[in-house]
Chain A
Amino acid sequence: MLHRHALRIALRATGALVAALLLAVSLLAAQIEESAEAEIVDLTLVRQAGVLQADFRLANALDEELMARIESGLPTTLTFQARLERPRRWWFDRGLGRSELQVIAMYNAVTREYLVNYKQDGSLIDSRVVQSREALVRAMTMIDDMSLASFEAPGDADPVVRVRAALGSKNWLGIVPTTVHTPWSTIALSEARAVPPSDPESRPSTLL
């Protein structure tokens, strides 16, 4: 009788454990990287008026599928993640700072315009309207002067800046959502070059 009771408890506990593990894995797997053909290229750092900025380009990202989605009027987001890290590969806590830039494109078929919004760390920093695909691709993939002002480097190490783009999501095994990322593109902080302040007029700004 005791054996039977113990077997029942063990079976129930096993079932509950399997289900809980499945759910936990699905949550964790939401952050699992998947390689894509897209990549971050031409990553450079500039320091303008003491403020660290990153310039880079996202290559091979906007394929026909993504363009079709944009032109259907659905909001489409590309997320650029920038991190300041210690150059220690196996260190458990390498992060020194992080920032995230979201580029959200939305097509207005009536006016035949693409509205591109830029949100950095949750705040809207810029908004552009472009009329052509080429301009849209430029607006979404060519990032100039991404501010990394919050990055503070300690004096005892030469940290690196890593950038990657999140292109969308897929489902692992059909049930576990995963984010499609580009590989990390890395540049040493020491490679940042200083430039003089630019003319505010030359920088794209809001249209209205």
Chain B
Amino acid sequence: MKTLGRLRKALRDNQIVLLLLALALTVVTLAYYLILRGRGIDTGTVNNQILLFFLRNVNAVLITAIVFVLIRNLVKLWVERRRRRLGSKFRTKLVATYIGLSLIPVLLLFAIANQLVQGSLDTLFSSDVDSLLEPGYGVAQELTTTLEKDATDDARLVLDGLADLSLEDIEQLPELGRRLQEEMNRLQFDLVYVYQDTEFVQALLNPRSGLSSLPELTRPLLLDTLRDGRTARVLEVPGRDELLILAALAGDPDDGARRAIVVVGNVLGAEAASQSTVLVQAYQQQRQIEVLEPEIRAIYLLGFLTVTLVLLLICTWIGLYLARRVTGPIQDLAEGTRRIMGGDLDYRVADAADDELGVLVHSFNRMTSELQRNKLLLEARNEELRLSNETLDSERQWIDTVLQNVAAGVVSTDFEGTVLTCNPSAARMLGTSPRELIGEPLAASMRQSALANVFAELLSIRDAAHRQVRVIVGGEWKTFDVSSAPLAEDRGARRTGWVVVLEDLTELIRAQKLATWTEAARRIAHEIKNPLTPIKLSAERLLRRYREDDPSFADILQRGVEIIVREVGNMKAMVDEFSRFARMPRPQPSVIDLGALLGDTVRLYRDIKPGVEVEFEVDPPGECPAALDPEQFRGVLVNLLDNAVDATEPPGKVSVRAARHNGSVRIEVADNGCGIPVESREKLFLPYYSTKGRGSGLGLAIVHRIVTDHYGSIRVEANEPRGSIFTIDLPQG
């Protein structure tokens, strides 16, 4: 449908030219016809002339059209090739092929058809036809000649028979009639006229002639007879097929006298006359054909040439149209490719027909649309990426600034432990410079074996971990809290390195120790002052009673000494406790089943307080290996369980839970007792701090000390909905 539409459009585009040509040809032909008719030329000749004129001019127009179409397209092709337009070479080949394919058969057809027709015309104009017609014509001519001769002979006899009559004497007319009748009967002619010069004298018609009346003779016949002495005529009988053969003979001229003319006529019967006429007319038609031979040949030739040129024009036009139809989309595609290469993704190739080229054009347009969509998407992504990079740059600068100024040391390594970055604080803590550290293995580059061991250990653990280490840096002991965390990509699926954070706890610990000792000194002073007051009062009372010489002095002395001894005992117990806390030995860790240790300890508290349920759980069930000092840790558990059971009023529940968590072991001791105020939680692990108003206040301090000695941590939080929960995190290994 699209092809037909384009063909219609192409024809419509040339419609004006075609209409103008047709109109001009019609006008010129009509004008020529009028000119010919104005010259009085017969219709047949005019028709031939007009037909020839029309055919010649149609051919001229067709040749002009073909030459025009060819030149136009060849010039366009030449221009396109000069401009090196894509597809022009292919189009040239197509045009040459189409025109060649149309020219060869059409011209071949024209040559063969023309040869056949010319052969037929040769046969028509051949001497064979003449040889057939000429004898017939000769016979017809001979027939009329013979009849003329016979009539002339008869006229001679009649004229001779009238020699003794005076035609001017009216009295001799009957005799003239009788003699004419006798001669008619004797010689058997059909009619006879007698004239005196051109003056009619008498005529006689033979009834056997079949004529109803005598035809009137023409004056020129008589004049010719008078001039030449004799003459003959063949006349067509009006309204009949017969011929009238007349022979006129004039008498010898006398001086000054009028001459007698005898005209004898014979009627040639209709059958013979018709046959004679047919023969003559056939011969004459053949002569006409021979005369018109060039025109007839030209008409046939031009007719075939017209058909050939029309075919050639149609073939050429269609060929050029098809070539353009094929190469047009290719050129459009090439143009589209060039435009798209130039970045114009809005360009679309016009839809071609519903053929393979149409599919190609459609695919090309779809590809362009996809490219445009992807380009827009890419631009949006690039914008997002640019903004993200800006954000990242900003964040990196912020992080760099933080890292450059943060007190904590931050070191990042790759998966093998090679240092990638190192901030100044880390370098200062490690007694080196970032330049020396970056690119070196973190653990191996440490001069302090303790640090090297800690780093090696942390980097060997898969998950986050932290350790405290005391090392000599710059000639003084430093305490660092070293934390490590893995750097991961692909949402944690792939470890790429580590980040190690060092925190210098030296000053903090020093301050904590100072605060601890200050608090301890205060508590010790308070504890010492408490027994000192009764001792002082007892001693002053004893002295006063002694000076007063009190008779009950002995009783008073005994009670006073008892008070002093008791308070001194209390003081000694307190000092012993303090000594024990101070002398706590270093832990001797060994790998034990923490679950079994917890189970054994919990079992002691199952029925210690009615209404308080003590539960125990290991997650996941089974062995839970941990490296720790079992005796010290049993003390930790006892202390925590004592406090929990003590704080829980029936009905209540104390639960102990051990679980492996991120490469460490977590122990939770929870109760739903009265809970611990928030303000007390900070001081809970300080020595001599107690919320119970009894005891030494060293229990949780010892617990904290043991956990810390095991490189672990302990914290207390509120249990929901009530109570407290103590959480201990220990390294598993």
Contacts and interface: CB of A to CB of B under 8 A. Distances in A.
Contacts of A208: 216, 218
Nearest to B288: A72
B17 A16 contact: yes
Nearest to B287: A72
Contacts of B20: 16, 19-20
Interface string B282-302: 011101101110000000000
Interface stretch (A147-155, A170-178, A181-189): A170-178
B39 interface: yes
Contacts of B42: 74-75, 77, 104
A194 interface: no
Interface in A78-120: 79, 102, 104, 107, 109-113, 119
Contacts of A12: 14, 17
Interface stretch (A21-29, A32-40, A42-50, A156-164): A21-29
B288 A22 contact: no
Given A72-B287, A72-B290, A104-B40, A207 B60 contact: no
Contacts of A193: none
A17 to B, nearest CB: 10
A69 B287 CA distance: 8
Contacts of A18: 64, 68
A3 B490 CA distance: 60
Interface in A37-63: none
B65 interface: yes
A56 to B, nearest CB: 19
Contact of B45 (A11, A22, A75, A174): A75
Nearest to B289: A72
A196 interface: no
Nearest to A128: B220
A15 B64 contact: yes
A22 B60 contact: yes
B81 to A, nearest CB: 15
A48 B25 CA distance: 48
Given A23-B25, A72-B291, A177-B32, A110 B41 contact: no
B236 interface: yes
Nearest to B19: A16
Given A18-B68, A74-B292, A175 B284 contact: no
B281 interface: yes
A27 B285 CA distance: 32
Interface stretch (B49-57, B629-637, B697-705): B49-57
B21 interface: yes
A77 B64 contact: no
Given A72-B290, A74-B292, A175-B59, A169 B277 contact: no
B385 interface: no
B290 A11 contact: no
Contact of A68 (B53, B220, B280, B287): B287
A27 B31 CA distance: 8
A102 B39 contact: yes
A200 interface: no
A74 B45 contact: yes
A118 B56 CA distance: 32
Nearest to B14: A12
Nearest to A18: B64
B334 to A, nearest CB: 16
Given A23-B28, A73-B287, A166 B39 contact: yes
Interface in B515-547: none
B235 interface: yes
B41 A77 contact: yes
A111 B75 CA distance: 65
B287 A175 contact: no
A129 interface: yes
A171 to B, nearest CB: 7
A122 B40 contact: yes
Interface residues of B, number: 56
A169 B49 contact: yes
Nearest to A73: B284
A142 interface: no
B36 to A, nearest CB: 9
Given A15-B17, A22-B64, A111-B235, A207 B219 contact: yes
Nearest to A205: B219
A22 B61 contact: yes
B24 A20 contact: yes
Of the candidates B28, B32, B38, B44, the one having the most CB atoms from chain A within 10 angstroms of its own CB is B28
A23 B65 contact: no
B234 interface: yes
Nearest to B24: A23
A77 B20 CA distance: 35
Contact of A175 (B35, B38, B57): B57
Contacts of B292: 74
Interface in B441-464: none
Contact of B224 (A69, A109, A131, A174): A131
Which interface residue of B45, B76, B216, B220 has the most chain A CB atoms within 10 A? B220
Contacts of B38: 122
Nearest to A74: B288
Given A11-B72, A16-B21, A111-B236, A74 B39 contact: no
A102 B40 contact: yes
A104 B31 CA distance: 22
A48 B231 CA distance: 35
A175 B16 CA distance: 24
Given A30-B35, A104-B40, A109-B281, A73 B288 contact: yes
B68 A15 contact: yes
B243 interface: yes
A207 B14 contact: no
Nearest to A13: B17
Contact of B277 (A69, A110, A131, A174): A110
A116 B267 CA distance: 26
Contacts of B288: 72-74
B276 interface: yes
A24 B27 CA distance: 10
Contact of A15 (B59, B65, B76, B276): B65
> Across chains A and B, which 7 residue pairs bring their CB atoms closest together, nearest first?
A72-B287, A75-B42, A15-B68, A175-B56, A72-B288, A102-B40, A207-B218
Interface of A: 7, 11-12, 14-16, 18-20, 22-24, 26-27, 30, 68-69, 71-75, 77, 79, 102, 104, 107, 109-113, 119, 122, 129, 131, 166, 169, 171, 174-175, 177, 207-208
25 contacts: A11-B75, A12-B14, A15-B64, A15-B65, A23-B57, A30-B32, A68-B290, A69-B291, A72-B284, A72-B290, A74-B42, A74-B44, A74-B45, A74-B288, A74-B292, A77-B41, A79-B40, A102-B39, A104-B40, A110-B234, A111-B236, A129-B218, A131-B233, A175-B60, A208-B218
Interface of B: 14, 16-17, 20-21, 24-25, 28, 31-32, 35, 38-42, 44-45, 49, 52-53, 56-57, 59-61, 64-65, 68, 72, 75-76, 144, 216, 218-220, 224, 231, 233-236, 243, 276-277, 280-281, 283-285, 287-288, 290-292
Given A11-B68, A19-B17, 5 more contacts: A7-B76, A14-B68, A19-B64, A175-B56, A177-B32
